Amino acid sequence: MNIDASQLGLACGVGLLSGLHVSTWGMYKDAIHEGFSWLRYSRSAIVGAVMGAIAYVIARPSLTGPAALVLFFGVTYVLERGAVEFWKTFLRNEDQRKYFIPMQFAVFGRVVEGKGKRLVIGAILAGAVIGVFLGFHRYAAGNPLFASVSVVLAVASVSGWISAFLGAWKDAPVEGFETLKFFRSPLWAAFWGALLANLSTSVLVVMMGGLGFTIATLETYKTFFFPSKPRGKFAGKPVLFPDMLRRRKPFVLLFATIWALIVVGFVLAFMRPHHGLISIL
């Protein structure tokens, strides 16, 4: 099958938007501690665009309506997060003393030295996570997982549980275990997954997109509802670049615009009839 250049460009554009969303909340919190550079800011946008292209080439979705675009945004969001976090955790060598919580892979708060060792651990972990997603995808091919609301909520929450366990592994040894923090990702993933299940019968899309929108929601809440509270990795660390408290403000407009596009996309998606899609709400 030939690649549709316009569809590929649209896929890259959606991935670019998802990456800009990530770049903005990340910069808003981190730049006051580590400074700002356009190269660092553009990293997630570039990775998002690349993930959009890869996802399109593999799946060949028809990105012709608001429902497809909303779903694809969620998918590229989680792909970008997965790729960048894998690089930060298992591949990048960086002085960890500037962080309160280590960003490289650690066991009980102690960083595992040696890129080779981390890479092996990362490959095993990534394989296990991908295996869970593909396992549900394969099982769903012959089973009506969307037969009831409770089943959808349970399946959609799986990606949130994965995120919760990985987050607890990284954060809890340093800052302690927080029950509410642990359960919020599965709950939000269940919510977003149930919403997306109205737009797609693909379990893989619902799980991935649900997690993507979960990350977007929680990071928005943590970043812009508590702007004076540093991210966990910089807890207790000094503000080294106070000028960024002023310079970061114009980026809020871009961030809000992307959220507005998401909301409009959902409204338009639910206003249109979805032939062949299962309604569970």
**Residue 183: Cβ-neighbour burial (10 angstroms; 0-12, 13-18, 19+):** middle
**For the CA atoms of 192, 71, 52, 78, what is the dihedral angle to 10 degrees?**
10
Question: Which DSSP symbol is given to 233?
Answer: G
Res. 174: pLDDT tops 90: no
Average pLDDT over residues 225-229: 81
Cβ neighbours, 10 Å, residue 140: 18
Which residue, 45, 88, 103, is CA-closest to 254?
45
For the chain, the structural domain boundaries read 5-271
Which amino acid, residue 53?
Answer: A
Exposure string over 73-104, b if 16+ CB within 10 A, otherwise e: bbbbbbbbbbbbebeebbeeeeeeeebbbbbb
Distance between CA atoms of residues 51 and 276, nearest Å: 27
Is 111 in a helix, a strand, or coil? strand
pLDDT at position 227: 79
Residue 153: both structure tokens together: 């909520």
Cβ neighbours, 10 Å, residue 48: 30
Distance between CA atoms of residues 111 and 105, nearest Å: 6
Most trustworthy range by pLDDT among 35-44, 93-102, 174-183: 35-44
**Residue 144: Cβ-neighbour burial (10 angstroms; 0-12, 13-18, 19+):** exposed
Which amino acid, residue 153?
Answer: L
Residue 10: both structure tokens together: 């649209």
Give me the phi and psi of 280, to 5 degrees please: -120, 0
Question: Which DSSP symbol is given to 230?
Answer: P
Res. 30: pLDDT tops 70: yes
Reported as a single tens digit per residue, the pLDDT across 44-100 is: 999 999 999 999 999 999 898 899 999 999 999 999 999 999 999 998 888 888 888
Asked whether 190 and 226 are in contact (CB, 8 A), the reply is no
Report the run of H or E that residue 110 belongs to, with start and end: strand 110-111
User: Which residue matches tokens 């990284």?
Assistant: 170
Reported as a single tens digit per residue, the pLDDT across 118-161 is: 999 999 999 999 999 999 888 876 565 666 788 888 888 999 99
| Whole-number average pLDDT of the chain | 88
Asked whether 241 and 36 are in contact (CB, 8 A), the reply is yes
Average pLDDT over residues 213-241: 87
- pLDDT-derived band at 276 (thresholds 50, 70, 90) equals very low
Res. 272: pLDDT tops 80: no
Asked whether 164 and 211 are in contact (CB, 8 A), the reply is no
What global pTM score does this model have? 0.91
